Every structure is written in C-alpha cells, then in structure tokens.
Structure 1
C-alpha cells in the first residue's frame, strides 16, 4: 500500500476526490523512490509469510480439530489477518506495478485506493476487536475459573465474533460515508484511531500484563497456561506494532514517510500470530521441539483438556507449564 491510509493522501483529500481527483497527492504514473521500494519489498515478504502462516492456522482449526471457545476466536482472527495481508499485497501491486506500468487515471486510482482503504480498516478493526475479546475471556478464565465455566453461554464465542465483525463493518462504513459525503472525515478518523487504540490495544495490554504479574508473583503462584501466554504475547505485539499506525494518522501530513514504517509494522502484526502459536505450543521445558501440527494441537487442545479436568468433582485445577 502507499498513500492509501495516510491522512494527507487518502483522508484529507477524500471529500474532494470525487469532484477533483487530480488533487490526489500521489501520482500513479510516477516511479516510487528507492527507500519506499525497499520498505515495500520487505513488507511484501512479511505479508507473504503471514498469508502462509494464517492459511495453515485456518486449515488446521477448520479441518483437523474440534472447535472450542478459544479456537473460534483464533480462527476468526486468522481470517481477519489473512484478509488484511491480502489487501496489502493487492495495494502494493497497484502502486508499484500496475499504476506506473499502465498509468491509470487519477480518478480510477483514487477510487480503487478508497475501496482498499475501507477494506483494510475493516479487517484491521475486526482483528483488533477479536483479539481484545479473546484476551478478556482469558482474563475471566484465569481469575474466576469456576464461575467462568459455570456461567459462560455455550455459543458465546461465535455470537461475539459475529457482533465484532459487524461492529468493524459499521465503523468502516461510517468512515466511508462520512469521507465521501461530509467535511469531517479527518476528525472522525482521528477519533476512531484514539478510541480503538485506548480501548482495544492499550487497555487489554495493561490488564493482561497486570494479571500475568499477579498470577506469577501473588501469594498463590500459578501459571495461567499456554493459551493465556499466547494471548498476552499477541496483545503485547498489537500494542507495540499497532501504536505507530495510530500515531501516524496525526503526523502523516508533517512526516509522510512515517506511513511506510507504520504499514510495515501493521503487516508484521498480522503475520506474527501463527509463529507465536508454534513457538508457545512447541516450547516444553524451555526447549522448542515438535512438529508444526503437534505444536498447534498441544496449544489449541489444552483448553478443552483443562476444562474436562476442572469439571471432575474434587479435582484441582491443573496448570501446565510452558
């Protein structure tokens, strides 16, 4: 992707783009500079690796194992990350191959950019919301295991995933409508960036980190399990890698190059989860030793095994170590 998601090139000019697309800041006939090409090549490599990793996760969870509440979130998150990376690759293809080679019109270029921008935001919001819901469930399961297992609705994960996908679609549609038919497009994007970062990145990171410290350093020390460690790592990477994307919305008009770095980090954030699943699932007694399929099965089936044990009368909750 190029100036699609920047405030200067995509958001600030959206309101005037339909009537005067020549004002769009990026020239589709111009060859990009060398530094942008290097960043784009790295972004492409990361995105391709992420696509492969997320496809493996979707295939494994969809075809090779029985679903449980945790894997429903993971499956939806992998679909969101896969879609985001695919949109990223399509936009890279548009900007660095199709546009300079065939020199498409500014209007067509701008319209395609706008559509890809909204789809990108839709997948980005959905992934953020799904990861937040997953982290909240892990916190409840770690703090109140008996209450959580007795009162949790059976189909809660599926219902929440549907609600969160719908919420992401509503926000993306709202931004699309406001940007094309109203003058407050830039302000709305600022508000969405702040709200999403605080509620669905910063707050989950702090709460999960505080819970992990409490479980490991409290009076009754116990390990919350591989699943919780995986969620904590995912939330941490979302906070670190997603922060530049949120900040970029405010500084893009002053430092245009900041967009390319934030885009690179966003692709890394959407690609890293499958590798976290493998590393945490294969880690045993501080050694990484097992196949990809075994690592995924060990990680994703842990929750079902622990729930079965916890439901037996008189059994204490068994905590597994990483």
Structure 2
C-alpha cells in the first residue's frame, strides 16, 4: 500500500458520502509495498502465537482450574486478547485479498471499518479489564482486612460485565460518529487520550508505587507472583499501547505508524500468557514446571494470599500479597 491510510480515516471516508474513489488516497487493488509486507508478516506471526497462548489460558482457566476472583479477570482478559488477535488477522487478510481480487473500494472500506470498530472494542475491553485486576490487587495488598471481610462475593464477574459494556459503548460511539456524524477524528483523539491516562498511565504509577512501598516500607514484604505478573502486564500495556494511543497524532509525520502500532498491539495481546508462565514457573531463578503447574501456582497463590495475610498492626507480616 504505497499510499497509506489509517483505519479511522477509512471510517471518516465512508461517512463523508463522497462517491468517487479517486478522491481518496488508497486503492484496494494496489499491491502492498515491501515495508508493509514485512510489518504485516511480523504482525501475523505474533498474532498466531498469541492465539495459541491465549487459547491455552482459556482452556486451562475455563476447564481445568477452579475459578477465583482473579482468574475471572484473567479469563475475560484472555477472551479480549484472543478476539483482538483474530480481528487483526482478519484485517490483514483483507488487505492482502483486496489486491488479488480487486475488491470494490466501498466493500473494502466498509469491512475495514467494521473490523476497526471490533478491534477498538477488544482493545478497550482488554485495557479496562487489566486495570480493574491491577486495582483490585492493590486493594488486597493495601487493605487486606477490609478486602477479606467486605469484598462482594461476585464483584469480579459484575465488574467484568460492566467493563465489557463500557468498551461496547465507546466502540459504538466511534461507529455512529463516523458513519452518521463528522466528529470521528475528534472522538478518537479524546478516547485515545483519556483511555491512555486513566487505564494505562495511572495504573502503572499506582502499581509501581505499591511495589516500592512493599519493598522499601517499614513492614517490608515480598510481592507475590500474581502481583508481579500484574505489574509486568500493566508495564507492557503502557509501553506497547503508547504508539497506538498517539497514532493519529503521529500519522502526519510517519504514515506507517498505524502498522507499527498494530504490531505492538498484537505483541501486547500475546505477551500475557508468556508472563503468566514465566512468573508462575520461576523458582529460585529457574524455570522448572509444566504450563498447567505454573498457572496453578500463580493463580492459586492469588486466591489464598489475602487469607494468609495478617491483620495490619501485627508484629510481622511474612506472607506475600
């Protein structure tokens, strides 16, 4: 695609009502350029690996392990990541099929726009779910007595449902504003900026602050495996999600930023299963156990850590959080 166009631009083009394909900067019948072929190939390989990894997470947590408040979040996050990777693969397939069969311009952009809305839905949902899981982990560490005694039993399931609905609402707003209004770019700017600050930057700062408090406070404690896994996931979300959050601002200077951000988004959705396995299997700086054993060690610790924690004010708190 020698002339690059971002997917949110395709939404704007479809909503503008202009009828001549020559008015636009992208030809679906044009062969992809060499650099985009490389980026697309990398994104495809990462996405396929991520589908396998998230599929393993879904199988283990859905059918092989007992559910607890944190596995509910992880299971929903795996669903969001699996769906996002699938949408990315479909979008890449569309870009390679369109030159081969010279798909109609309007059909191409309609399908491309729908896939982008689905991508936003999964991307937002994954971001919100990871933020909720990290915030609940912080609450369990900072207020163990309150968390043990007053946490609603079905909080995880209810909160996951609310966050899926919130992601669907924002994706629907993007779709309607682009097809039936003229505020597509402005809405995308606002959503990208607000989501990045509230659901990426702030969770990273709060988790880092908690980590420092646990390691350097007067009652020094060792962070548990689940907390380390959540901290790593939030960190990678911040690093890998940053280019996508600022993509529309940088596209003017670097048109290929959309494809770079898609590669990083696929990496972000693929890396969580790797984090779970490495953290769960790590013991004395060695990685020695099966995938299922690593997951059980990681998530069963998260389910029992608050039960083992002592009430604040006790002489010593030796257990992990």
Shorter-chain TM range is over 0.9
The 8 Å contact of residues 51 and 271 in structure 1, kept in 2 or not, is answered as yes
Q: Distance in 1 between matches of 2:17 and 2:164?
A: 28
Aligned to 1:65: 65
Aligned to 1:319: 319
Q: Distance in 2 between matches of 1:274 and 1:21?
A: 43
The 8 Å contact of residues 5 and 11 in structure 1, kept in 2 or not, is answered as no
User: 1:53-202 to 2 correspondence within 5 Å?
Assistant: 53-96=53-96, 98-202=97-201
Q: Deviations over 1:119-175 (max 9, x none)?
A: 000000000000000010011011111111111000000000000000000000011
Quick one: structure 1 residues 17 and 109, their matched pair in 2 at CA, closer, same or farther if it must change by over 3 Å?
farther
The 8 Å contact of residues 91 and 116 in structure 1, kept in 2 or not, is answered as yes
* Count of residues in correspondence between the two structures: 318
Quick one: structure 1 residues 61 and 17, their matched pair in 2 at CA, closer, same or farther if it must change by over 3 Å?
farther
Q: Deviations over 1:90-140 (max 9, x none)?
A: 1111101x1111111000001001100100000000000000000100110
Q: Distance in 2 between matches of 1:253 and 1:20?
A: 23
1:307 Cα deviation from its structure 2 partner: 3.8
Quick one: structure 1 residues 263 and 141, their matched pair in 2 at CA, closer, same or farther if it must change by over 3 Å?
same
Q: Distance in 1 between matches of 2:17 and 2:101?
A: 21
219-228 vs 148-157, which moves further: 219-228
Normalised to the residue count of structure 1, the TM-score between the two structures is 0.93
Quick one: structure 1 residues 108 and 204, their matched pair in 2 at CA, closer, same or farther if it must change by over 3 Å?
same
1:222 equivalenced with 2:221 (yes/no) = yes
The 8 Å contact of residues 202 and 239 in structure 1, kept in 2 or not, is answered as yes
1:239 Cα deviation from its structure 2 partner: 0.2
Quick one: structure 1 residues 319 and 26, their matched pair in 2 at CA, closer, same or farther if it must change by over 3 Å?
farther
Secondary structure of the 1:67 match is: coil
Structure 2: runs of 5 or more not aligned: none
302-311 vs 236-245, which moves further: 302-311
The 8 Å contact of residues 230 and 276 in structure 1, kept in 2 or not, is answered as yes
Quick one: structure 1 residues 198 and 244, their matched pair in 2 at CA, closer, same or farther if it must change by over 3 Å?
same
Quick one: structure 1 residues 136 and 151, their matched pair in 2 at CA, closer, same or farther if it must change by over 3 Å?
same
The 8 Å contact of residues 118 and 171 in structure 2, kept in 1 or not, is answered as yes
Aligned to 1:37: 37
Quick one: structure 1 residues 60 and 311, their matched pair in 2 at CA, closer, same or farther if it must change by over 3 Å?
farther
Secondary structure of the 1:223 match is: coil
CA RMSD of aligned residues (A): 2.2
Structure 1: runs of 5 or more not aligned: none
Quick one: structure 1 residues 279 and 198, their matched pair in 2 at CA, closer, same or farther if it must change by over 3 Å?
same
Normalised to the residue count of structure 2, the TM-score between the two structures is 0.93
Quick one: structure 1 residues 152 and 4, their matched pair in 2 at CA, closer, same or farther if it must change by over 3 Å?
farther
1:27 Cα deviation from its structure 2 partner: 1.2
1:304 Cα deviation from its structure 2 partner: 2.2
Q: Distance in 2 between matches of 1:14 and 1:300?
A: 45
